[in-house]
Amino acid sequence: EQFAGLIDGGADLLLLETAHDVLNLKAGLAAARLAFKKAGRDLPVIVSATMDERNKMLSGHDAEAFFAAVEHFPLAAIGFNCSTGPEGLGLRLERLAARAQFPVFAMPNAGLPDENGRYLQTPETFSAVMADYAAKGLLNAAGGCCGTDPGHIKALAEAVKGIKPRAPRASGPWVVSGVEALFFDEIEPPAMVGERNNSIGSKKFRDMVAAGDWAGAVALAKAQAAAGAHVLDVCLANPERDELADVKTFAPMLARAVRLPLMTDTTDTAVMEEVLKTAPGKALLNSVNFEFGEDKPRAAAELVKTYGAKLVFGCIDADKTHGLPLDAGRKLAIARRAYAFLTGECGLQAGDIIFDTLVFPVAVGGEHAKTAHETIKAIEAIKKEFPGVKTILGVSNVSFGLPPASREVLNSVFLHHAVKAGLDLAIVNIEKLKRYAGISAEERELAEDLVFARRPDAAARFAARYRDAKKGPAAAAAPDASPAEALRLAVLGGTRAGIAEAVAALLKTENPLDIINGPVMRAMAEVGKQFACGDLIVTEVLQSAEAAKAAVTALEPALKAQKAPRRGRVLLATVKGDVHDIGKNLVGIIFESNGFDVEDLGVKVAPEDIAAAAAKSRPDFIGLSGLLVRSCEQMTVTARELAKAGLDCPLLVGGAALTPKFTETNIVPNYKGQVFYAKDAMEGLNYALRKVSAA
């Protein structure tokens, strides 16, 4: 009603400013869209958030999560206003400018008010800081908020005169979000979708919902997040219950409890809309298809445009004979029809669409025997024909009906080949993923015979191999294996079973440091090689890192008993935008084992948070890690923040994409102290030991 009145009154522009809650912004944009429809014309829309000293909105969203929640709308501009003075804008502007396909602006206050409510920042100081942002290519427009007056604006106009405006991105990135944003270019595919909060697929979850055990249902979601899920699947469909009422109860709880993007799995568009109203970011809509015609897909697409979401489209149509397509050709044909319908009639972008090529139980045999291979071929064909879309699968469907012990093996082998074909998202039980690299050659061959339908008796042979086996972890090392070999295999397999016993046996004859630098590090080196060649996914590498950490924990009493001198304090972090912590964890293990106290800040740590932690603890060394190309630039930003905080202790940097040249030309000039590029954990340790010895 407010927007309708503004439109009727002759407004030229709609500005949603000083936003501190993403849900308010989403509601405002949805209302604007509705008002435009009723008026029969659109107005330009600008959104502006306000953030605190932590670079967060009151709802907890940072600049990237704020952007992710609103980037579905064709904005005239996006930016920040109010809050602190211009000095606090740098990091949030850098993040927004790097991602946004829209013009970016800033309208800060003239500093913070004093106790009498006076803003004391002068026009000269205000305009100098803003001009610096403009010169760095971060701004398309600039202005002032509280405390600024005509003098500030005049000085600002003079300061930015002649500076070339920022060039917006040609297109937006692929992103979904909760309180935190998940950019697809920041992860190693596939993105893992936790499947356990699903009433259809999980009896445990269904029983929790029936009993009103919402706390247990939330705990289930938290466990999946802790295990490494990127997205959480939520399905409350149950013929014995009111799905919409359950969603209204559970979705807000889930949004408060976990920071991950949500994927609602439902055929009811009212349920879809309720989740989108509640989700604190860009969610995903699942279970959309042509089974009952085009009305529901059309309605779902309208929700995508109204609230911002990704649409998961299942390759199903209304054909009475082949509605559930078993072959790649039919799957591709339905995907073609859906793509034309969604991008043409419905006005979606390619990046809004995720195709589910569907996988069926291969053990059924008959016409289903070749369906796993056909699904893999369909993924490859769709990715080739429609490069802008993503693909998704409910992986565990492939093994339905097989002996429990065999299902995890088949799921893992099938997932491995689907990812090689181009699978982007995988719906899985993240807590029970079996490691592909840990599957024996014999088991792989049996599973691949079934996946690729290489022989008519493939299902029978595969099932027979596991019929008498119990579901559980992979077999331990052979009984006659040496303690060192048992420890190596445990770390390699990502299991803690047997680690304590192997460590105890080794300590009878070995020095604890030699145990770490021997079997533990040899195993992690092998894990790194398997990851590099695609035999392991990130989640599995993390399991090995946890096993290595368990070995170090078991060795701690012996390490302390040696009474080795403490050599200093190390602060470690994986930089902003990067979730990979394998290398960082190894560095932590090695440094701790060699007499250093280690403080690990975790992953995706913002530059200002690293600087704040370092200023508080005053470490002797700071270590920055990151796998991605973008992480290199984040290390530069972090070095600059550390320097601004007055820190100058040695800075160790490392990561797969980082090079000595980039370190020398980009990171070193932005830091006051010494910067050391370490190609691996041991090189970093040796540098630190040399520095300590020379002190």
- Spatial neighbors of 402 by CB under 8 A, at least 6 apart, are 361, 363, 410, 459, 462, 463, 466
Q: What is the pLDDT, as a whole number, of residue 392?
A: 98
CATH architecture, domain defined by 186-466 = Alpha-Beta Barrel (3.20)
List of residues 6+ apart from 686 with CB closer than 8 A: none
pLDDT of res. 589: 82
**What pLDDT does 404 receive?**
80
In CATH terms, the fold of domain 562-693 is: Rossmann fold (3.40.50)
- Report d(CA 490, CA 488) in Å as an integer: 5
Instruction: Name the pLDDT band for 319 (thresholds 50, 70, 90).
Output: confident
Residues 656-664: contacts with CB under 8 Å, at least 24 apart: 656/583, 656/627, 656/628, 657/626, 657/627, 657/628, 657/629, 657/631, 657/632, 658/626, 658/631, 658/632, 662/632
Given a cut of 80, is residue 476 above it in pLDDT?
A: no
* Fold equal for 1-160 and 483-559: no
Burial class, 387, CB count within 10 angstroms (exposed 0-12 / middle 13-18 / buried 19+): exposed
Handedness of CA 426, 430, 432, 434 (dihedral sign): positive
Angle at 408 between CA 403 and CA 410, to 5 degrees: 85
Alpha helices in 327-466 (DSSP H): 328-340, 371-385, 404-421, 441-451, 458-466
Query: How many whole angstroms separate alpha carbon 649 and alpha carbon 138?
Result: 30
pLDDT band at 304 (very low <50, low <70, confident <90, very high): very high
CATH topology classification for 1-160: TIM Barrel (3.20.20)
Report the distance separating Cα 198 and Cα 561, nearest Å.
49
What strands, in cross-sheet order, belong to the sheet with 651-654?
Answer: 596-600, 568-574, 621-625, 651-654, 675-677
Q: For the chain, what is the mean pLDDT?
A: 91
168 secondary structure, DSSP code: -
| CA pair distance 647, 631, nearest whole angstrom | 21
The answer to whether the beta carbons of residues 619 and 590 sit under 8 Å apart is no
Say if residues 55 and 83 touch (Cβ distance below 8 Å). no
Burial (CB < 10 A; 0-12, 13-18, 19+), residue 245, is exposed
SS3 354: strand
Rounded-to-integer distance, Cα 647 and Cα 651, Å: 10
The full length of the chain comes to 695
CATH superfamily of 483-559: Methionine synthase domain (1.10.1240.10)
Helices (H), 11-81: 22-39, 63-70
Cα 675 from Cα 240, distance rounded (Å): 63
Residue 463: closest CA among 477, 449, 476: 449
395 φ, ψ (degrees, to nearest 5):
-60, -40
On whether the CB atoms of residues 75 and 45 are closer than 8 A, the answer is yes
Where would I find the H helices in 536-653? 538-561, 582-593, 607-617, 629-644
Structure-token match 């946890």, residue found? 546
pLDDT tens-digit map of 358-395: 999 888 778 888 999 999 999 999 999 999 999 999 99
pLDDT band at residue 540 under the 50/70/90 scheme: low
> In the block, which residue shows the tokens 């308010």?
24
Share of the chain above pLDDT 70, in %: 96
Q: What are the extents of the domains in the chain?
A: 1-160, 186-466, 483-559, 562-693
Among the ranges given (310-314, 495-499, 620-624), the one the predictor scored with the smallest mean pLDDT: 495-499
Q: pTM of the entire structure?
A: 0.78
* C-alpha to C-alpha distance for 355 and 343, rounded to whole angstroms: 13
Q: Which tokens sit at 471?
A: 């579901």
- pLDDT of 598 > 90? The answer is yes
> Predicted confidence band at 83 (pLDDT cuts at 50, 70, 90)?
confident
Exposure string of 654-689, with b = 16+ CB inside 10 Å and e = fewer, is bbeebeeebbeebbbebbebebbbbeebeebbebbb
At residue 475, does pLDDT exceed 50?
no
Judged against a pLDDT cut of 70, whether residue 683 lies above it is answered with: yes
- For 464, the token pair is 């027979």
Span 573-590, average pLDDT: 82
Catalytic annotation, residues: 578, 580, 631
Could you tell me if 136 and 93 are in contact, meaning their C-beta atoms sit under 8 angstroms apart? no
